[in-house]
Amino acid sequence: MIVTVTLNPSLDRTIEVDELTRGAVIRTRSARLDPGGKGVNVSRALLANRVACGTVITAGGPDGDRLQRLLEAGGLRVRAVPVAGHTRSNITIVEPGGVVTKLNEPGAALTRPELDAVAEAVLTEAETAGWVVACGSLPPGVPDGIYAELCRTFVPAGIRVAVDSSGPALPAAVEAGPDLVKPNREELAEAVGRRAERLGDVVEAAQELRKRGARAVLVSLGADGAVLVDDDGVVAGEAPVTRPKSTVGAGDALLAGFLAGGARGPRALAEGLAWGAAAVRLPASRMPGPADIRHDIVHVYEHPDLNRPLPP
């Protein structure tokens, strides 16, 4: 069983337009509402593939109720912690070819008692869990060390912890010894203070995070695939998509597939890449099920070319 935690979930509204022009009135093509937030998406992807999972979210105001109802209607096991602030809405504007502009709200501030209630909910859910997966940005008022606190609670108890976050929360969590972190290229650059220009730079930066405390580092590289650096070494791979529809939630699908695939080595990376590519072929933040996932497009390299340049 995999338990995800999302402190800053959202209602994700995805709007399709022919072209995004600043300052203009734009008639949209279509709109769609999905439950959102990184941990929420990881759980949705796991559920779609019949992997046992549960999800802990904060929920506040009418949008919090709506989010909870949407998730429960989808069949997800949800533990919603009531909070005083209102659950946020994030807007994604998708142009043809899958070009995405995202407007992510900061989210409602959380108080210490509300954070304690979340920790309590995770502890209860995690009784039968193999993994606790903490994902997403931190809402205002939440200390940067909150994911580190989760690591210190669960890792010594033998429950593995994965963290997918951005900003100062990521390096803080790394120091607390998570089993896995999943930065994208920008998050990795922010965590180590330098940009990767070649695949080798990504590997070096991932090794640095391992030295600081993370057991395994899965770096997502958008259309360039992903790199895994773990106890077994370095593996890279990609799964090309010719007509991307929406990349929203692709990182979450990658992480879900990686965990479902055993969370270690080339097999898990291949599974993650297949799920990530499938998410990109689907509209909005729809999570892929078995009918969407193709393993035949995945290439995994156990001796990747570390000199391979990455796009600027």
Ligand X SMILES: Nc1ncnc2c1ncn2[C@@H]1O[C@H](COP(=O)(O)OP(=O)(O)O)[C@@H](O)[C@H]1O
- 150-155, long-range: CB within 8 Å, 24+ apart, which pairs? 150/5, 150/119, 150/122, 151/176, 151/177, 151/178, 152/176, 153/119, 153/123, 154/126, 155/179
Q: Is residue 250 within the footprint of ligand FBP (CB under 6 A)?
A: yes
Kindly write out the interface string for residues 179-198 of this chain, putting x where it contacts ligand FBP by CB under 6 A and - elsewhere.
--------------------
**Contacts to ligand X from residues 210-229, by CB under 6 A:** 220-223, 225-226
Q: Is residue 87 within the footprint of ligand FBP (CB under 6 A)?
A: no
Q: Is residue 162 within the footprint of ligand X (CB under 6 A)?
A: no
Q: What string of DSSP letters covers the chain?
A: -EEEEESS-EEEEEEE-S---TTS----SEEEEEEESHHHHHHHHHHHTT--EEEEEEE-HHHHHHHHHHHHHTT--EEEEE-SSPPEEEEEEEEGGGEEEEE--------HHHHHHHHHHHHHHGGG-SEEEEESPPPTT--TTHHHHHHHHHGGGT-EEEEE--TTHHHHHHHT--SEE--BHHHHHHHHTS---BHHHHHHHHHHHHHHT-SEEEEE-GGG-EEEEETTEEEEEE---SS----TTHHHHHHHHHHHTTSSHHHHHHHHHHHHHHHHTSSTTPPP-TTT--STT-EEESS--TT-B---
The correct pick among 241, 263, 269, 300 for binding ligand X (CB under 6 A) is 241
Q: Is residue 246 within the footprint of ligand FBP (CB under 6 A)?
A: no
How many chain residues touch ligand X (CB under 6 A)? 19
Kindly write out the interface string for residues 127-156 of this chain, putting x where it contacts ligand X by CB under 6 A and - elsewhere.
------------------------------
Q: For residues 8 and 49, which CB has a smaller minimum distance to ligand FBP in the complex? A: 8
Q: For residues 240 and 262, which CB has a smaller minimum distance to ligand X in the complex? A: 240
Q: Which does 244 bind (CB under 5 to 8 A by kind): ligand FBP, ligand X, none?
A: ligand X
Q: How far is the CB of 158 from ligand X (least distance, A)?
A: 28
Q: For residues 9 and 222, which CB has a smaller minimum distance to ligand X in the complex? A: 222
| Residue range at the interface with ligand X (CB under 6 A); choices 26-34, 75-83, 194-202, 233-241 | 233-241
Kindly write out the interface string for residues 269-308 of this chain, putting x where it contacts ligand X by CB under 6 A and - elsewhere.
----x--xx--x----------------------------
Q: Which does 237 bind (CB under 5 to 8 A by kind): ligand X, ligand FBP, none?
A: none
Q: Is residue 90 within the footprint of ligand FBP (CB under 6 A)?
A: yes
Q: Is residue 285 within the footprint of ligand FBP (CB under 6 A)?
A: yes
230 is catalytic: no
Nearest to 106 by CA among 142, 73, 80, 78: 142
Nearest to 122 by CA among 110, 131, 111: 131
Q: Which does 14 bind (CB under 5 to 8 A by kind): ligand X, ligand FBP, none?
A: none
Q: Is residue 98 within the footprint of ligand FBP (CB under 6 A)?
A: no
Q: Which does 125 bind (CB under 5 to 8 A by kind): ligand X, ligand FBP, none?
A: none
Angle at 55 (CA atoms; ends 129, 109), nearest 5 degrees? 125
Residues in contact with ligand X by the rule CB under 6 A: 184, 220-223, 225-226, 239-241, 244, 247, 250-251, 254, 273, 276-277, 280
Residues annotated as catalytic are 252
